Structure 1
């Protein structure tokens, strides 16, 4: 580039920086692309895989399309009916997702219709929250750094966060929209605390609310509250004030209890479904001697006939909900005993982990279509609009558990020098960066472990969403820190409290 051209670029960056920060650029870029994807025809969303009923009916919505079943997996549907009278459907599960659905119904009735529900009112809520989350996340990485580093980070953020593999979930009733958005808030709040940006008490509140919504968004996320409570202990010592330390301690205890409570409140119906798959699509599937494996659990060897079967098969050897299975199959094992089995059989465990790794880098579930039937696309067609990142990730990521372990080791190694220095300096605000990143990675790994221990290989690409989300966020932070030169050292502009 010539000197004249360099001066011109520099002057434009200076002019841009007066009005648009890197964080604002990232947020506006993601907002603009997401609005085009979700609100401009042909509308992009997610087809129902059969799970919507679990959350719809108990929140006052119902399927008002006569042939709705024929749309399963194939077509996105944006309109539903609103119950006008008594709703006899109780909640089949507890989820923070219900709060967002009920708020969107209220907005729908206020601005659109009291009998016909448009899912895009929920989408508006998520887009607003998402835009703010992107702003805070990018701000935590670009605050007080030269614009020549900040804007490239913002452009990378747009490339990642505007990908429709993620944003299409907003036009659906899948809880992944909450998982993705709230995970960003949790990470952003922690990083902003680390950099001493904004009020610590406000960030503490954001951390708590987003972590609570994340933990309670789906039963699979029960470990989230426990992990954040443990890895977040260092947050207690960020400030010396007694009020802050008591408040943060109370938050961590609440998150721990929320994690335990989420696990306890899993409905019996879902326990049986997952437990069935944990054995038939997990333990038995990779066993060289299924009958001997069953014996290790105290289960009659005749149940080996269930090997590789799924709970929803129309014609089965035995009724999956029968008292026979309850007494002689389900009652013989649980999460703890399966975990113990895998620990004592590491070869089989690594086979399952490698199976899980094959799906761990897929953001968009391959089975669900993205278009309305009226768009004229073929059944289960998926959009390619602004999907470059997700396609590259799916195609090029090494799909082995060994790569995941290597990724964890590299990330920890990169941040360890600054952590050791912070410990030596006794600088608690600096110390918390590595535990925070480690906590996010553990959340992702819990998504893999809970999936294979709790449900075998059943619907892995969707069950492992928490890992693929955590992988992207941690990797993005590492890239941003490399660009701004803070991988091996802590930020020097932090004000000590």
Structure 2
């Protein structure tokens, strides 16, 4: 009796609270506060450079101005960089939507300081974008739900989204920050359209822009545009207006072209790096007879000496950029031929998939430190501040590819009944949720497959970021829908109208 009374009082208090602050606003506010403390209050949390910064730094008008920068690689985070004052002769080494963010950050920074760029300006922009993204995502999951369920989802959202394994990327030049935020916007806008929350046109604009930024954020995401275009076809039929359908269809077509263009525009230098690792850190590494494997590709067996080697090694058997290697090694294989090899050698493919799965649940790359050198932390030290979710995930997630398959089947099975009911009711809007979830799953898988086939096991924990991000969003959505009893009990809108008419 006392317990029932307590629950009744708790429910009443939550109802009163919901009049002043919604679950989505509560979650976004707490994530904002925790992120500000982590990134903008000493000791500042960020990401050390692993050697990749030069790819985006010089072409965007910045340069390394710290004389001791070489000693910071991998170990310490650096927050200040020089701004070119005169002609910048450096061309773009890669095409990425991340450059738009960096250039906007530099422009804002120059309003206050013309010579030194503080990366926290970029972090501030990303934090604002992130807060809005979290709000929209939690709103999509809790709208019209009972307060007691909604606030529980909000608390869980803070546990996930405020985790510094994700937000530390904001204080870095790694594109993972753009990938993470745009993925949330993409998923949230699709779910809000499913819920019929806000304007369908506005949600499709957010869906398109976030999909475009996500696809073009890094070359590895080239398949993302194609996946969105194919899985998003169902969005065309949500409304009957020709204008809406034309807008959605043209947006999806543009995303597919963006995916193709992202792949085509990959610089030759990066093609060679990835291609080298795809063979030496992938195909050959798992082969019982590397010489025979090379022969199957039409490559001289003497190149078996490169097995397990890395492109960046200072002392190598052969110059990795030489014409000899170009003619006798690189030109004999590519993405398609390696894919065909793995298909015809399922045992090796299985080993690579399990190897990938071991790194697929790690959010924070283990190689990079999070503190400035001035903070007095050891070289390579990583923060434990608000890292409960990432540490728990890393420790408990079964690290096998079989688990990933089971996870996909379970989540699909959870949402399939509602999708079937929507099909029977011919309610396209209610059919949107399952394809949207499958879209994120396929994106995550593309992150794994592209990493393995395209670059072997080189820097897997970072290359598989798209999978770990998609896994978290889909799993969180499934948990939230289960808590809110929104998996099977909610009937499709058309079905509800039919019942109302009959009554």
Which TM-score bucket, shorter chain as reference? over 0.9
Deviation at 1:108, TM superposition (A): 0.6
Aligned equivalents of 1:330, 1:64: Cα separation in 2: 36
Matching of residue 331 in structure 1 with residue 331 in structure 2: yes
Check conservation: 1:216, 1:258, Cα contact below 8 A: yes
Deviation at 1:92, TM superposition (A): 0.2
SS in 1 for 2:19: helix
Deviation by residue 1:378-422 (Cα, 9 ceiling, x = unmatched): 000000000000001001100000000100110111111111111
Structure 1 counterpart of 2:137: 137
Structure 1 counterpart of 2:244: 244
Check conservation: 1:443, 1:467, Cα contact below 8 A: yes
SS in 2 for 1:81: strand
Check conservation: 2:425, 2:492, Cα contact below 8 A: no
Structure 1 counterpart of 2:423: 423
Deviation by residue 1:175-205 (Cα, 9 ceiling, x = unmatched): 0000000000000011011111000010110
Deviation at 1:16, TM superposition (A): 1.2
Check conservation: 1:37, 1:164, Cα contact below 8 A: yes
Deviation at 1:259, TM superposition (A): 0.3
Deviation by residue 1:251-295 (Cα, 9 ceiling, x = unmatched): 110000000000000000000000000000000000011111111
Aligned equivalents of 1:36, 1:44: Cα separation in 2: 9
Aligned equivalents of 1:190, 1:43: Cα separation in 2: 34
Q: Which runs of 5+ in 1 are unaligned?
A: none
SS in 1 for 2:117: strand
Deviation at 1:486, TM superposition (A): 1.7
Structure 1 counterpart of 2:364: 364
Check conservation: 2:31, 2:162, Cα contact below 8 A: yes
Structure 1 counterpart of 2:25: 24
Structure 1 counterpart of 2:500: none
Q: Which runs of 5+ in 2 are unaligned?
A: 498-503
What TM-score comes out, normalization by structure 1 length?
A: 0.98
Check conservation: 2:418, 2:491, Cα contact below 8 A: no
Structure 2 counterpart of 1:475: 475
Deviation at 1:4, TM superposition (A): 5.2
Matching of residue 195 in structure 1 with residue 168 in structure 2: no
Structure 2 counterpart of 1:282: 282
Query: Bigger CA drift: 485-494 or 401-410?
Result: 485-494
Structure 2 counterpart of 1:446: 446
SS in 2 for 1:117: strand
Aligned equivalents of 1:488, 1:295: Cα separation in 2: 55
Aligned equivalents of 2:286, 2:435: Cα separation in 1: 35
Check conservation: 1:281, 1:310, Cα contact below 8 A: yes
Deviation by residue 1:56-86 (Cα, 9 ceiling, x = unmatched): 1000000000110110000111111000000
Matches within 5 A, 1:140-219: 140-219=140-219
Aligned equivalents of 1:423, 1:491: Cα separation in 2: 11
SS in 2 for 1:19: coil
Pair 1:492–1:230, CA change in 2 (3 A): closer
Check conservation: 2:427, 2:493, Cα contact below 8 A: no
Structure 2 counterpart of 1:291: 291
Aligned equivalents of 2:4, 2:422: Cα separation in 1: 41
RMSD: 1.2
Check conservation: 1:216, 1:262, Cα contact below 8 A: yes
Aligned residues: 495
Structure 1 counterpart of 2:316: 316
Structure 1 counterpart of 2:10: 9
Check conservation: 2:11, 2:147, Cα contact below 8 A: no
Deviation at 1:99, TM superposition (A): 0.3
Deviation at 1:7, TM superposition (A): 4.4
Structure 1 counterpart of 2:456: 456
Pair 1:72–1:194, CA change in 2 (3 A): same
Check conservation: 1:33, 1:162, Cα contact below 8 A: yes
Pair 1:329–1:490, CA change in 2 (3 A): farther
Check conservation: 1:359, 1:464, Cα contact below 8 A: yes
Structure 2 counterpart of 1:220: 220
Matching of residue 84 in structure 1 with residue 76 in structure 2: no
Structure 2 counterpart of 1:104: 105
Deviation at 1:109, TM superposition (A): 1.0
Structure 2 counterpart of 1:65: 66
Structure 2 counterpart of 1:407: 407
Aligned equivalents of 1:270, 1:334: Cα separation in 2: 13
Aligned equivalents of 1:9, 1:207: Cα separation in 2: 37
Aligned equivalents of 1:191, 1:377: Cα separation in 2: 42
Structure 1 counterpart of 2:255: 255
Aligned equivalents of 1:4, 1:145: Cα separation in 2: 22
Check conservation: 1:430, 1:490, Cα contact below 8 A: no
SS in 2 for 1:18: coil
Deviation by residue 1:417-465 (Cα, 9 ceiling, x = unmatched): 1111111111100111111100000000100000000000000000000
Matching of residue 122 in structure 1 with residue 122 in structure 2: yes
Deviation at 1:13, TM superposition (A): 1.3
Check conservation: 1:52, 1:174, Cα contact below 8 A: yes
Check conservation: 1:49, 1:73, Cα contact below 8 A: yes
Aligned equivalents of 1:135, 1:486: Cα separation in 2: 19
Check conservation: 1:416, 1:488, Cα contact below 8 A: no
Check conservation: 1:127, 1:170, Cα contact below 8 A: yes
Aligned equivalents of 1:427, 1:298: Cα separation in 2: 54
Aligned equivalents of 2:3, 2:180: Cα separation in 1: 43
